[in-house]
Structure 1
């Protein structure tokens, strides 16, 4: 079964641009490196050629992964997000019930978009999984690496 990922229009366009770049400029760059290494002589003992071929394999693997991600992508319209419960692309304020003063705000995003520096957490992360589907005022019990934690849902916006 395909792993469907949900993206904003901006992130989807960004992924498509990255794929186009890898297929055009990335492949051309690797081809030039292989050609240059091939011109240096005996391929059996040519470390530059081996490195260039390895880089080509890694590039093709990255292209294949991006193609799969894009083919399984679904674009979400942020204006259609239900703010009565936590869902993907929701902005959520949560409070750790053990430490009543600590209030955190996260945006729930797809795995590929997660970026903790921007307070974007994946729906597949322990906190993301734990708060998904919860409503304001509900408490979510999250199985984190440090043990069980409880978070109260304070606010849901988009």
Structure 2
């Protein structure tokens, strides 16, 4: 999982770096050739995109640094942490759901039904450091939700099973 995140991050950094160094300079050059820059929407659009790409690259570079510092031996093996797969039962409806805790910016946006939740979300924060059998309560806009943790597979257990 960690290697997948690093690869995904590296691919996005590579794509954005190419856009910043090749695509956007060409777009800006082409827009400048059109003349008056004060009313040139192509020029303004290219500059705004350039600023966005630079900000995103900075964010991704910081995240890559954080990921490289993660020591798998320091991730909890007996409680919920990064990469854990947690099965919970809603105490009111008795519905069972399984979640995988990930960094928010690595949630698979192409598969939102995959059960990934951000560690920074309300549910993610409540699940952190909990164990099988624990109960958590989350305050949601529609009311309180109480969950019973039925099962926890930590990242190390998931990696061992592969």
Q: What is the TM-score with the length of structure 2 in the denominator? A: 0.81
Deviations 1:83-105 (A, max 9, x none): x32222111110000112x0000
State how far apart, in whole Å, the 1-side matches of 2:105 and 2:52 are: 19
Tell me if 1:56 matches 2:54. Answer: no
The residue number in structure 2 matching 1:88 is 82
Q: CA deviation at 1:121?
A: 0.6
The residue number in structure 1 matching 2:6 is 12
State how far apart, in whole Å, the 1-side matches of 2:22 and 2:146 are: 51
RMSD: 2.0
Structure (1 or 2) with the greater helix fraction: 2
Task: Say which SS state the counterpart of residue 129 (structure 2) adopts.
Answer: coil
Q: What is the TM-score with the length of structure 1 in the denominator? A: 0.83
Structure 1: which 5+ residue stretches go unaligned? 1-6
Please give the residue correspondences for 1:62-81 in structure 2 after superposition, counting only pairs within 5 Å: 62-73=56-67, 74-75=69-70, 77=72
Task: Say which SS state the counterpart of residue 72 (structure 1) adopts.
Answer: helix
Structure (1 or 2) with the greater strand fraction: 1
The residue number in structure 2 matching 1:138 is 134
Q: CA deviation at 1:77?
A: 3.8
Q: CA deviation at 1:147?
A: 2.2
Structure 2: which 5+ residue stretches go unaligned? none
